[in-house]
Structure 1
Amino acid sequence: MKNTRINLLARPIGNPAPECWEIEEVDIPEIEENQVLIQTQYLSIDPAMRGWMNEGKSYIRPVRIGEVMRALGAGIVVESKHPDFKAGDSVTATTGVQEYAVLNGKDVIKVDPAFVPLPVYLGTLGMSGLTAYFGLLETGQPKAGETVVVSGAAGAVGSVVGQIAKIKGCRVVGIAGGEEKCKYAVEELGFDACVDYKTGDLRKNLKEACPDGVDVYFDNVGGEILDTVLTLINLKARIVICGAISQYNAIQKPVGPSNYLSLLVNRARMEGIVVFDNAPNYGKAIKEMAGWVAQGKLNGKVDIAEGGIRAFPETLMKLFKGENTGKLVLKV
């Protein structure tokens, strides 16, 4: 049996170019005691991948040159020498961008595809959902009746943030790119409003959508949108910094928000969220979110890209072109 995998060949400057990747076929090794062999069926395609490709200090070590590109995956156990797993089990793990992965069983999570389809465990009931859950509830700390604004509202994290905020009794306003994404946020996800940043005056439209100002802002994009929202925040507002997809491929060093003094005037707080910090509480969060899914209160759209492992480079670029709605996964 052969394993096709994609290795990081060079660190990108700007957009990840085809030259950054190496497609390699290797033999699948024999598994050892306490290991499992997983056949990857779906790969999670995440904005964070772009940061993992950069050299330098971060919340997680960068992918090394020549190493299999890091990725979360969902698949089936083919062979097991771990007591908790057997062939045929559905699982999620950090598989990497490859067709097969050999992992220690302690790094693998068993999931139930009878409850929700397997790709959902990479989105709403996976790291994207957990990021939304902890970022909003632990860092944003919304209260019923407050206004929560979320950018990247039609994306994997933003779509879950908005729905949880609605469950908690908040007014929810999304920011997204394009009429279709805004329509999706309002009509399918239940947002109270969604502002298209690609048309019209963003500040004017956002102010109209948030007549009582902004109490919590969950930021997935950074840049000018963050700067604009800072002009509309209320006293004691909370700004959750989750990502900055608008800046990940910038060649020039991004300029910081010019309206940051609004934090001083409003005695507001801006804080980053890294989901791994909440690992001890993953079980509690997933149990609560699974309950919301069962009740029909929490939904998650999965945008499945075809083409197998070799389609990874162009599938990753879909994120930065804004071509996906919901959770982007690659079918292996």
Structure 2
Amino acid sequence: MSAQLNRQFLLAQRPVGLPSRDTFSYVETPLGEPAAGQILVKNLYLSLDPAMRGWMNDAKSYIPPVGLGEVMRALGVGQVIASQHPDFAVGDHVNGAVGVQDYFLGEPKGFYKVDPSRAPLPLYLSALGMTGMTAYFALLDVGAPKAGDTVVISGAAGAVGSIAGQIARIKGCRVVGIAGGQEKCRFLIDELGFDGAIDYKSEDVAAGLKRECPKGVNVFFDNVGGDILDAVLTRLAPKARVVICGAISQYNNKEAVKGPANYLALLVNRARMEGFVVMDYAAQFADAAREMAGWMAEGKLKSKEDIVEGLTTFPEALLKLFSGENFGKLVLKV
């Protein structure tokens, strides 16, 4: 086994603006054997997430940044091929922070087993993985939707947004999605059951909100930030809840992050805006996954994955997130 090579992408520099292939170093290193307490995992699928851009910055956050020269952090699923850990056996499929590489070798901190006979492996990176957990807890705990509420989702055709919108529908809300392009907007309504859609690429978002949310917005689930956040703040209903799940429009700014100009709408409407980090809910993931799997079995919840093949395509595949090119949960097949 030591003769095998492990292809890896290391963080080579901290990008200013969009990352590129030069942000990373591609290396091939000899594959080792697990020591006591370690496992060796053959990575099968990697999750490509907007959060990865934040992990490249040397700044205080909810998780330490990736160090220069370290394997780029990524969640993924794979199969254990050697183990010196009592909880994991050869043949087990696992989900964890495996990194952008062919193989993970180390202590399985935060790893857990998944069952490929119950669901396709990419689903454990989308609806049944961290993406689904993010949508579930951000909407239900922070957004606290009530039946009859109007819920607006930005980035609605993306990984988290598409699931959050469907959960809001399950809870009896009127759901309006903001997405880029007619194809994505049709998908929201025809496939996912959204009540309305606003195409930010071809129409004025403020006018679309006025049309789709005549009584105002009770819950805004924000994945985008910037101008779209500003537009929705002008349509808030009294006691509205704004969930700050992400701000993908701001992640590659070369200048300071653009804050909301219309934040006084929070005061006037006695509304609140609250940030969200999914790992705060780790102890409840298993219960949420069971409920999500039940909704999927009943046909109430659909998951769409956008799978790109080949580890070496990683730098270019990651950029699909920031151009809006991906359609559904972006996954890299190793």
Aligned to 2:158: 155
Give the paired residue count. Answer: 331
Aligned to 2:300: 297
Aligned partners of 1:239 and 1:41: how far apart in 2?
36
- Tell me, what secondary structure is at the counterpart of 2:249? coil
Superposed CA deviations along residues 85-120 of structure 1, whole A, max 9, x for unmatched, are 222222111000010001324532111112211001
Superposed CA deviations along residues 21-63 of structure 1, whole A, max 9, x for unmatched, are 1001111121022321110011100000000001110111111
Aligned to 2:329: 327
Please say if 1:7 is aligned against 2:35: no
Residues 137-156 of structure 1 correspond to what in structure 2 (within 5 A)?
A: 137-156=140-159
One-letter code aligned to 1:82: H
One-letter code aligned to 1:315: A
CA contact (8 A) 1:84 1:105 kept: no
Aligned to 2:20: 17
Please say if 1:245 is aligned against 2:268: no
- Tell me, what secondary structure is at the counterpart of 2:230? helix
CA contact (8 A) 2:250 2:258 kept: no
Superposed CA deviations along residues 110-164 of structure 1, whole A, max 9, x for unmatched, are 1111221100100111111101011000000000000000000000000010010
CA contact (8 A) 1:238 1:268 kept: yes
TM-score, length basis structure 1: 0.98
Please say if 1:217 is aligned against 2:259: no
Aligned to 1:175: 178
Please say if 1:123 is aligned against 2:109: no
Please say if 1:49 is aligned against 2:81: no
CA contact (8 A) 1:2 1:26 kept: yes
TM-score, length basis structure 2: 0.97
In terms of mean alpha carbon deviation, does 3-12 or 201-210 score higher? 201-210
Residues 162-311 of structure 1 correspond to what in structure 2 (within 5 A)?
A: 162-306=165-309, 308-311=310-313
Aligned partners of 1:146 and 1:213: how far apart in 2?
9
Identity across the alignment (%): 60
- Tell me, what secondary structure is at the counterpart of 2:260? coil
One-letter code aligned to 2:196: A
CA contact (8 A) 1:2 1:27 kept: yes
Aligned to 1:315: 317
Aligned to 2:100: 97
2:34 to 24, 31, 45: 31
Aligned partners of 2:260 and 2:105: how far apart in 1?
44
Superposed CA deviations along residues 184-211 of structure 1, whole A, max 9, x for unmatched, are 1111111111110111221111111112
In terms of mean alpha carbon deviation, does 36-45 or 107-116 score higher? 107-116
Aligned partners of 1:91 and 1:301: how far apart in 2?
21
One-letter code aligned to 1:328: L
Aligned partners of 1:273 and 1:106: how far apart in 2?
22
- Tell me, what secondary structure is at the counterpart of 1:304? strand
- Tell me, what secondary structure is at the counterpart of 2:28? strand
Please say if 1:65 is aligned against 2:68: yes
Aligned partners of 1:323 and 1:107: how far apart in 2?
31
Unaligned runs of at least 5 residues, structure 2: none
Unaligned runs of at least 5 residues, structure 1: none
CA contact (8 A) 1:150 1:174 kept: yes
- Tell me, what secondary structure is at the counterpart of 2:78? strand
